Structure 1
């Protein structure tokens, strides 16, 4: 069944081949207006693409500021091609089963953070939702462990409607686990945010 640009079936949510075809056939933008249109169309399916915001960052950068001349960069070309490539092989987004435990796998780089919410269904781990965002200038100065911790805080807060009130698992790097345990006297925005994790019931396992 087609619904709001998606295909809904017994397995979950899929991208609509007709909508994806329009993205794949979208010609390389030559103006800011065309670029914004492509970003808008591609963003409709960002829930299907892991680290969408990080991948699309070079495209968003071209639309910022007061640039008068449209200059297509190598980074923008790579992002444009990458988004098209990922959209040709998107996974099925499964419907959540609130009787089963959730898994949040977090990821952090020097450019952005992301996470995937999943569950084991019939013995297989299947995605429920993806999310990601760019790091701001200050966050890019964080250490690797701080970025990993930031990704956990961000993911748990965003996935709160799914995991609140239940016990779940967070999959991340071991160093982030050590940072959480060491935060006995929190200072700074990140540390204070991390303390919010105490309101949740979860285990952390090493990636």
Structure 2
């Protein structure tokens, strides 16, 4: 469990900490004392360096990866990609960089660690060493999605703009399968948008998202004409609409369950003659008892 009890005054920080611990006590949640850190400015949490600046990679883990020699077997390639993939959210175009290495993992492909593989291996290590600091999302600001598609990879970037400066929250990308490789450019770009909404749905639920994407608006402009838009692109737009409806349903269920939880904790009160109470009768009024 990660709890941020951040407050400028020390007394207020203690108050927030008390609320967090009380919530753990009320829910019978046990904490490992050895893994708990209090009143620190930064620390390692789940392999990430957490501080007021944002989220960074663990330098100790990166130093281990930096010293790794080029793999000499398929098992070594898989191990390296597993370690590097843990920090893929920090690396732009991760799938594009690792494409030559991933090819070595395909069944019945002879293991030949070519110059292209060596370049991908060294590039990935350099990207990890110089990984940027990723900010935590500010839920009071709007999100921005940047989507792009190449021949064999779709990539998306989720971020927010503060003082007209774009700050990255998460990088994500996906290698296309054999069927998707045959898509037209417009279809690949729309596929990137669908992938982005599916990947970042936890960030975008309940948020307003402005999307500047010619492929998407081109389909919207056709008023869902099946012959003009094409069945494949129409299905992709419908899939995006399903994400929107699912987000609405999840928000609705959350509100209902939250209301039910609060109603359970409302204490019944008994009133005596002469007391003034608030009654709801189409509008709020004061009625004498």
Shorter chain as denominator, the TM-score bin is 0.7 to 0.9
| Counterpart selection for 1:28 from 70, 73, 82 | 70
| Counterpart selection for 2:121 from 72, 80, 87 | 80
Measure, in 2, the Cα distance between the counterparts of 1:10 and 1:23: 26
Measure, in 2, the Cα distance between the counterparts of 1:171 and 1:42: 32
Measure, in 1, the Cα distance between the counterparts of 2:180 and 2:221: 21
Measure, in 2, the Cα distance between the counterparts of 1:42 and 1:82: 12
Shift of 1:143: 1.1
Does 2:241 match 1:198? yes
Which is worse superposed, 179-188 or 49-58?
179-188
Secondary structure of residue in 1 paired with 2:98: helix
Over alpha carbons, which structure has the higher Rg? 2
| Counterpart selection for 2:189 from 120, 136, 148 | 148
Q: What pairs up with 1:1-207 in 2 under 5 angstroms?
A: 1-67=43-109, 69-172=110-213, 174-182=214-222, 183-185=224-226, 188-198=231-241, 200=244
Secondary structure of residue in 2 paired with 1:178: helix
Shift of 1:171: 4.3
Q: Deviations over 1:76-135 (max 9, x none)?
A: 222212211211221111111112110010011001101011012344211111111101
Greater RCO (CA < 8 Å, at least 6 residues apart) = 1
Unaligned 5+ segments in structure 1 are 202-207
Compared with structure 1, are the counterparts of its residues 158 and 51 closer, same or farther at alpha carbon in structure 2 (3 Å cutoff)?
A: same
Aligned residues: 199
Secondary structure of residue in 1 paired with 2:209: strand
**Alpha-carbon contact 2:219-2:233 (below 8 Å) kept:** no
Secondary structure of residue in 2 paired with 1:53: helix
The structure where strand makes up a greater share of residues is: 1
Unaligned 5+ segments in structure 2 are 1-42, 246-289
Measure, in 1, the Cα distance between the counterparts of 2:152 and 2:67: 28
